[in-house]
Amino acid sequence: MAQEKNSVVVFSAHSGDFVWRAGGAIAKSAARGDDVHVICLSFGERGESQGLWRQEGMTMDTVRRVRREEASSAAEILGASTDFLDLGDYPLSVDESAFDTVVDLLRQYQPNTILTHVAQDPYNRDHNMAHEVLLRARMVAQAMGHQTENPPIGAPQVLMFEPHQPEMCGFSVDLLLDITDVFDLKRRAMECMGAQSHLIEYYTDLAVRRGVQAVRNGGSKSITHAEAHARLFPVVGGELV
Amino acid sequence: MAQEKNSVVVFSAHSGDFVWRAGGAIAKSAARGDDVHVICLSFGERGESQGLWRQEGMTMDTVRRVRREEASSAAEILGASTDFLDLGDYPLSVDESAFDTVVDLLRQYQPNTILTHVAQDPYNRDHNMAHEVLLRARMVAQAMGHQTENPPIGAPQVLMFEPHQPEMCGFSVDLLLDITDVFDLKRRAMECMGAQSHLIEYYTDLAVRRGVQAVRNGGSKSITHAEAHARLFPVVGGELV
Amino acid sequence: MAQEKNSVVVFSAHSGDFVWRAGGAIAKSAARGDDVHVICLSFGERGESQGLWRQEGMTMDTVRRVRREEASSAAEILGASTDFLDLGDYPLSVDESAFDTVVDLLRQYQPNTILTHVAQDPYNRDHNMAHEVLLRARMVAQAMGHQTENPPIGAPQVLMFEPHQPEMCGFSVDLLLDITDVFDLKRRAMECMGAQSHLIEYYTDLAVRRGVQAVRNGGSKSITHAEAHARLFPVVGGELV
Amino acid sequence: MAQEKNSVVVFSAHSGDFVWRAGGAIAKSAARGDDVHVICLSFGERGESQGLWRQEGMTMDTVRRVRREEASSAAEILGASTDFLDLGDYPLSVDESAFDTVVDLLRQYQPNTILTHVAQDPYNRDHNMAHEVLLRARMVAQAMGHQTENPPIGAPQVLMFEPHQPEMCGFSVDLLLDITDVFDLKRRAMECMGAQSHLIEYYTDLAVRRGVQAVRNGGSKSITHAEAHARLFPVVGGELV
Amino acid sequence: MAQEKNSVVVFSAHSGDFVWRAGGAIAKSAARGDDVHVICLSFGERGESQGLWRQEGMTMDTVRRVRREEASSAAEILGASTDFLDLGDYPLSVDESAFDTVVDLLRQYQPNTILTHVAQDPYNRDHNMAHEVLLRARMVAQAMGHQTENPPIGAPQVLMFEPHQPEMCGFSVDLLLDITDVFDLKRRAMECMGAQSHLIEYYTDLAVRRGVQAVRNGGSKSITHAEAHARLFPVVGGELV
Amino acid sequence: MAQEKNSVVVFSAHSGDFVWRAGGAIAKSAARGDDVHVICLSFGERGESQGLWRQEGMTMDTVRRVRREEASSAAEILGASTDFLDLGDYPLSVDESAFDTVVDLLRQYQPNTILTHVAQDPYNRDHNMAHEVLLRARMVAQAMGHQTENPPIGAPQVLMFEPHQPEMCGFSVDLLLDITDVFDLKRRAMECMGAQSHLIEYYTDLAVRRGVQAVRNGGSKSITHAEAHARLFPVVGGELV
């Protein structure tokens, strides 16, 4: 049976989130032939670019340009397209026009699966805002009476990727995604991000730990790296898994 | 790629639970070639045999015999083996020896997947007891130092089937299992149970509603019947589903 | 003892919600002599009018007109007045002026009881928005320093009616409302809605199931139809019920 | 319409709990003509009799006798019968025979309503144990196949009375019971308990605070004293309250 | 060892909240030499000034002036500075410019600890709004790329003070703060508030009850008054407390 | 001011748990002069001794002896005494006599603080059992009427140490304990355990991550290693921390 080609949308509050938290999922999907589209709501220019701001004479324009380039390179390595909505961060702000753009993109990409942030993160309210905007846009994109060039979308699953401090966000793992065979791509994408090497080590270690957990939870012993995701909606399927 | 043959254990507090709540899952698994083993902790002879007790001159022995026959017939139709532990119901009581039997059965069957009751049902504490015993037995059956004829088990997933009043039990659906192509078997199994026809209608209606929900949640439009299940542990997999 | 006349407000995100989810409660209250006021925030013109949009050449104006007529007829059958705020749906948007209108209506109607949507529905964020707006407006309408023609309201109970997928919304039932003697009115109101007959069957079946549950939870055996509601605030009373 | 006579069972882990936590509910029910039966699982002789143990030369027998007399007097004032099961406290221990006695009493009293402790109190596990035993016994007492002199019970509501530190027990109030007109009885019953006067003041103050809350939540302004209770099961009724 | 001087910010939706709910915490901190800054988002002029509005011929201007004076006096007694942002109440509304002011104040005060309202209070949505705005502003004030005169803040703990009906707000106590030695200051501050004496008695009684609870939870027997607070973030420390 | 000497009890289901999960807390407390007592309910001989069982010809007696020696050595390094109750594991079983022993030990050690397992771990029900037994024993040890050689205990705080998969156990961090200056002791204690080196690496990495988190949550920048703990009861204190 020929495998169906899926469309995956990754809805990222800041332009780095998708790499650290969902890089494996993106590479895995792209590798099997799916279309993967990363939507970055902001560049994380104010809140998540410490490395750049520590450089002498840094300007906002430069931060945004560099962050855009880094994210574009990372996405390319992972195999995803990118849309940068440039809505500002800390705080992220999504007005009516930006919201309509999000709806249009969902209709254009017709995703089977959407990856985004958790609903409650006390450390980072931009992440919550992205979650809320995504759920609202998904609803509008489904509405028959919202008439646009592209037709309504179906009922894509929403997966929430792992936040930085999962136990403070009520994050409970539903899927340990085996990213063993694409981890080198995730690593290369992380290396684009201009972040300190300790962050790359952090997420490499996390992938190894999640890999160990995958094996302990019944996964194949060949798994060495994994990513944790939580699901919002029920899975529909014909197998008892 | 040849499909792997799985082993599924269904851990049922009373001898009717597995039919109403997991009949579709059992038939579905058996139909794809899995081994399915139903373990009935009790016959539900005191708490779930109203139809029999309403008959003049009914005795406990007769109730147990009839319930056993009904459950055996239903399991046969669905394609599962049966073990009746005869531990009594209302309240279900699992002593040390019975517990050891459960562990032995888990080691004998080496399940990939286990189906059982939810952890909290204010109406039916036998169901909670079954849940707790299963989790404890799963843990013991995994222990290398618990030495029996059969080797330790792996890390089988535990799925909780839908309780009678899901919204009073904190039941949140993780899997809408498509049982369209085996629903006639579930219906025939339900007909073995000597229950009033309204119960058969109830679970048929429930399957239809869950089927509609499956389609609304992105499932194939060909789905007409489904069963709802909740997962206890993360799924390990290579697909974003 | 003569029964006190109550005022009931039903706060409905879209113009169909009040019929499907609270039609029995409305008819029941009206039948005992209460004043019942339905406030529809939108016509559900974009997100909940699939039947109309499937018709050739449909326009937004027509959809809104038809939805208004349907809702008016249904409310009339149930015995309630209607206010249509026409705020748009998918997404529902409530600006300052609309918010003030809601507060004014609450002060005008002086409700003892308010019915509205749940706080968390991952499928439908308009419903959550209605819940939040209602709680905020209730608070303002209680404030002595918010000065309007009508005096402040008391402390009306807020009941949340059953969402479409209760187990995905954390909905736990507090009240199984016996609607046996008004169900024919609810059915007639549902028939006004221009929806496909399967939706009418769906909510009829739901009422029957909730009726069975009512009997199982100690209600009179004469109950055949019920509606499920959840309460936000404590009940104050002199009886242990 | 003549009011129906109800049967109320109060299931109290220690012989003082029913007075402090449910004295108002008992007096209120008795005053309207209901039968009220207090079942004390233990005398609280080890864990809740500090006043007695501080007396020179105190013995276990004396503590139990005094506690029994105090509880009997209090119940008489409130208008309830008493059963003392004498199962020991700290820890409360309910063996099979004691469990059967509980089931028998439930069948004998045929309650419409049962009052007991919350499910989770980190300070007092005897209270949790009482909750669990009650739910299990209620289930068995409902079973047709559990055959005793008295017939099966219906589906009595279970109300949980307020624990000492409600915010540590996940206690959320469902019912603010107006006990204004029976508070003098509760006070007299509390005075039987041989406790230090500060406890009497504590529960008097609590009743006043809950009374204020009742008024703030829409109750009659004549309410001066109330008790807080939480419900386990849905209420079935014909009124929107 | 010389004690470090801390900076504490109290983020109060209405100008009375900080006195009733955190007066002890403020006085305690000020007494040990900390800088304490109260930020009042509104005067509570519409929703929490019943006493004033009951006076003949009262105007909004007078209410605001009186409320400001009362809060200033109370803060002075407790030992805190005050900022009045005058954003209006019932509903509290925080636009972009007001939000920036909050961020600026956080950067100016560089708090180690912030006190504010709980996240969910069904009775008072202004309180929730204050909680959300605080979390968002804390995040922005931490961002290196948000460039202002004052440098980014660290990671101040956020404590939530006790809401009026804690059991309806999911409030679970993390800290019972001993305010014994400053309670006379809290009492004097409460007396500034122009509220009815019963409110002063209410919060005095609450402090006594929380004091009793503190002793019961292992605190020194010398504690007679306490305040309850809940923490949002983990404590970092070197002691097992 | 001379520091008070505390008594700390660590209540460990299996003889390895205290090392991996609380080794830092133990060493930290012992280093400041506290008495620390480890109570091991079992040797983890069946479920947590894989390394030993993989050796040819291993016997239960040998496993228990080796596990006892390892735990004794580790405790000695950390600075704690040990009690081995030898109650068996997988499943852990605590009969009445063993329960009395636990109560006696609590009264003997008079702890200010107790460390134990979480309440809900779906992977390991022995851990839950230890939690429940501890709470019950704490209650009995507090009871004045439970008369033993040693007097009743006070109200010790209960800290829950981090389970292996915190996000599956509802574990939310309350305390990030700085163990920087005792980490070498924890490492040496871990090296006693005969476990594979990867486990030592795992817990070293975890300590480093928790250390990073401690700094991010406002802790001193000198922190390099930490342990996460959750509290069951409120802290009583005079500081806003």
On whether any CB of chain B is under 8 Å from the CB of C209, the answer is yes
Residues of F in contact with A166 (CB under 8 A): 166-167
**Tokens matching residue A155:** 């009922």
Q: What is the pLDDT of residues F231-240, one digit of tens each?
A: 999 999 999 8
- Checking if the pLDDT of F1 tops 60, the result is no
Q: What is the pLDDT of residues A214-238, one digit of tens each?
A: 999 999 999 999 999 999 999 999 9
What pLDDT is stored for residue D199 in this prediction?
A: 87
**F202–A209: do the CB atoms touch at under 8 Å?**
yes
* Site from C144, C148, C158, C231 to mutate, E interface, most E CB atoms within 10 angstroms: C144
Examine chains D and A and say if they touch (3+ CB pairs below 8 A): no
Q: What is the pLDDT of residues E198-219, one digit of tens each?
A: 889 999 999 999 999 999 999 9
Domain ranges of chain F: 7-230
- Terminal Cα-to-Cα distance of chain F (whole angstroms): 20
Which other chains touch chain B, taking contact as 3+ CB pairs less than 8 Å apart? A, C, D, F
The Cα–Cα gap between F114 and F7 comes to: 9
What pLDDT is stored for residue E1 in this prediction?
A: 41
Q: How far from D81 is each of D37, D109, E2, CA to CA, in Å?
A: 5, 11, 64
Q: Give percent of chain F above pLDDT 70.
A: 98
Examine chains D and E and say if they touch (3+ CB pairs below 8 A): yes
**C144–E53: do the CB atoms touch at under 8 Å?**
yes
The stretch E170-182 carries a mean pLDDT of 97
**Other Cβ atoms closer than 10 A to B212:** 18
On whether any CB of chain C is under 8 Å from the CB of B43, the answer is no
On whether any CB of chain D is under 8 Å from the CB of C31, the answer is no
Amino acid letter at F130? A
What pLDDT is stored for residue A1 in this prediction?
A: 41
- Checking if the pLDDT of F216 tops 80, the result is yes
- Checking if the pLDDT of B38 tops 80, the result is yes
On whether any CB of chain A is under 8 Å from the CB of C164, the answer is no
The stretch F97-112 carries a mean pLDDT of 98
| List of long-range contacts for C91-99, beta carbons under 8 Å, 24+ apart | C91/A99, C91/A136, C91/A139, C91/A140, C91/C125, C91/C126, C91/C129, C92/C13, C92/C41, C92/C42, C92/C126, C92/C129, C92/C130, C94/C41, C94/C129, C94/C133, C98/C41, C99/C133, C99/C136, C99/C137, C99/E91
What pLDDT is stored for residue B241 in this prediction?
A: 76
User: How many B×F Cβ pairs under 8 Å?
Assistant: 46
Asked whether the beta carbons of F120 and F134 are under 8 A apart, the reply is no
Give me the residue from E168, E173, E212 closest to D168, CB to CB. Answer: E173
What pLDDT is stored for residue D197 in this prediction?
A: 74
Which other chains touch chain C, taking contact as 3+ CB pairs less than 8 Å apart? A, B, D, E
**D166–E168: do the CB atoms touch at under 8 Å?**
no
Residue F44 backbone dihedrals phi, psi, to 5 degrees: 65, 30
On whether any CB of chain C is under 8 Å from the CB of D166, the answer is no
What angle in degrees, to the nearest 10, is found between the helix axes of A96-109 and A125-142? 60
- How would DSSP label each residue in D159-214? EEEPPSSGGGTT----EEEE-GGGHHHHHHHHHTT---HHHHHHHHHHHHHHHHHH
**D47–F139: do the CB atoms touch at under 8 Å?**
yes
What pLDDT is stored for residue A3 in this prediction?
A: 56
Asked whether the beta carbons of D122 and D78 are under 8 A apart, the reply is no
**Tokens matching residue B27:** 């038939």
Instruction: Report the SS3 class of residue D34.
Output: coil
- Chain D CA closest to residue B93: D96
Residues of D in contact with E173 (CB under 8 A): 165, 167-168
State the alpha helices, DSSP H only, in D39-154: 50-53, 60-78, 96-109, 125-142
On whether any CB of chain A is under 8 Å from the CB of E135, the answer is yes
Residues of F in contact with B232 (CB under 8 A): 122
**Other Cβ atoms closer than 10 A to F156:** 23
Least confident of A36-45, B195-204, C135-144, D85-94: B195-204
Average pLDDT, whole number, for chain A? 95
pTM (2 d.p.): 0.95
**F236–E223: do the CB atoms touch at under 8 Å?**
yes
The stretch D117-136 carries a mean pLDDT of 97
- Checking if the pLDDT of D37 tops 90, the result is yes
- Chain D CA closest to residue B51: D144
Closest Cα in chain D, distance from residue B170 (Å): 13
CATH number of B7-230: 3.40.50.10320
Q: In B, residues 90-119, which contact D (CB 8 Å cutoff)?
A: 90-91
Report which secondary-structure segment, H or E, holds E49: none
Query: Per residue, what are the HEC states of chain B?
Result: CCCCCCEEEEEECCCCHHHHHHHHHHHHHHHCCCEEEEEECCCCCCCCCHHHHCCCCCCHHHHHHHHHHHHHHHHHHHCCEEEECCCCCCCCCCCHHHHHHHHHHHHHHCCCEEEECCCCCCCCHHHHHHHHHHHHHHHHHHCCCCCCCCCCCCCCEEEEECCCCHHHCCCCCCEEEECHHHHHHHHHHHHCCCCCHHHHHHHHHHHHHHHHHHHHCCCCCCCCCEEEEEECCCEEECCCC
Q: What is the pLDDT of residues D77-93, one digit of tens each?
A: 999 999 999 999 999 99
**A176–B217: do the CB atoms touch at under 8 Å?**
no
The Cα–Cα gap between F184 and B218 comes to: 53
In this prediction the ipTM stands at: 0.94
On whether any CB of chain D is under 8 Å from the CB of F148, the answer is no
On whether any CB of chain A is under 8 Å from the CB of F166, the answer is yes
The stretch E130-147 carries a mean pLDDT of 97
- Chain D CA closest to residue B52: D145
Query: Per residue, what are the HEC states of F136-173?
Result: HHHHHHHCCCCCCCCCCCCCCEEEEECCCCHHHCCCCC
- Chain B CA closest to residue F49: B145
**C234–D228: do the CB atoms touch at under 8 Å?**
yes
Assess whether the previous peptide bond of E91 is cis (omega < 30° from 0). Answer: yes
Q: Cα D50 to chain center, whole Å?
A: 21
The Cα–Cα gap between A193 and A18 comes to: 11
On whether any CB of chain D is under 8 Å from the CB of B195, the answer is no
Closest Cα in chain D, distance from residue C237 (Å): 5
Average pLDDT, whole number, for chain B? 95
Which among A130, A103, A109, A105 is positioned nearest to A21, based on CA atoms?
A130
The stretch D170-193 carries a mean pLDDT of 97
On whether any CB of chain A is under 8 Å from the CB of F150, the answer is no
- Checking if the pLDDT of A17 tops 60, the result is yes
Which among A163, A178, A176, A216 is positioned nearest to B234, based on CA atoms?
A176
- Chain E CA closest to residue A47: E143
* Site from E160, E167, E176 to mutate, D interface, most D CB atoms within 10 angstroms: E167
Q: Tell me the helices (H) and strands (E) count for chain A, helix number first.
A: 7, 8
On whether any CB of chain C is under 8 Å from the CB of E218, the answer is no
The stretch A76-97 carries a mean pLDDT of 97
Amino acid letter at C191? E
Residues of F in contact with A168 (CB under 8 A): 172-173
Q: What is the pLDDT of residues F110-130, one digit of tens each?
A: 999 999 999 999 999 999 999
Residues of C in contact with D25 (CB under 8 A): 240
The stretch D205-229 carries a mean pLDDT of 96
How long a stretch of residues is chain E? 241
On whether any CB of chain C is under 8 Å from the CB of E233, the answer is no
Q: What is the pLDDT of residues B20-29, one digit of tens each?
A: 999 999 999 9
The stretch D134-155 carries a mean pLDDT of 96
Instruction: Report the SS3 class of residue F235.
Output: strand
Which other chains touch chain A, taking contact as 3+ CB pairs less than 8 Å apart? B, C, E, F
- Checking if the pLDDT of F2 tops 90, the result is no
What pLDDT is stored for residue F3 in this prediction?
A: 57
Query: Per residue, what are the HEC states of F38-95?
Result: EEECCCCCCCCCHHHHCCCCCCHHHHHHHHHHHHHHHHHHHCCEEEECCCCCCCCCCC
What pLDDT is stored for residue C10 in this prediction?
A: 98
Instruction: Report the SS3 class of residue C233.
Output: coil
**Other Cβ atoms closer than 10 A to A220:** 12
On whether any CB of chain C is under 8 Å from the CB of A232, the answer is yes
Mean pLDDT by 10 residues, chain C (241 residues): 79 97 98 97 95 93 96 98 98 97 98 97 97 98 94 97 95 97 98 85 94 95 98 93 75
On whether any CB of chain B is under 8 Å from the CB of D132, the answer is yes
The stretch F15-38 carries a mean pLDDT of 97
Asked whether the beta carbons of E171 and E215 are under 8 A apart, the reply is no
The Cα–Cα gap between B89 and C217 comes to: 21
Least confident of B30-44, E131-145, E195-209: E195-209
The stretch E163-173 carries a mean pLDDT of 95
**C144–E168: do the CB atoms touch at under 8 Å?**
no
Q: What is the pLDDT of residues F143-201, one digit of tens each?
A: 999 999 999 999 999 999 999 999 999 999 999 999 999 999 999 999 999 877 788 99
What pLDDT is stored for residue A2 in this prediction?
A: 47
Residues of A in contact with C60 (CB under 8 A): 145
**Other Cβ atoms closer than 10 A to E61:** 9
**F139–D54: do the CB atoms touch at under 8 Å?**
no
**A136–C91: do the CB atoms touch at under 8 Å?**
yes
Asked whether the beta carbons of F110 and F21 are under 8 A apart, the reply is no
Q: How far from E210 is each of E213, F165, F236, CA to CA, in Å?
A: 5, 35, 10
**B145–F63: do the CB atoms touch at under 8 Å?**
yes
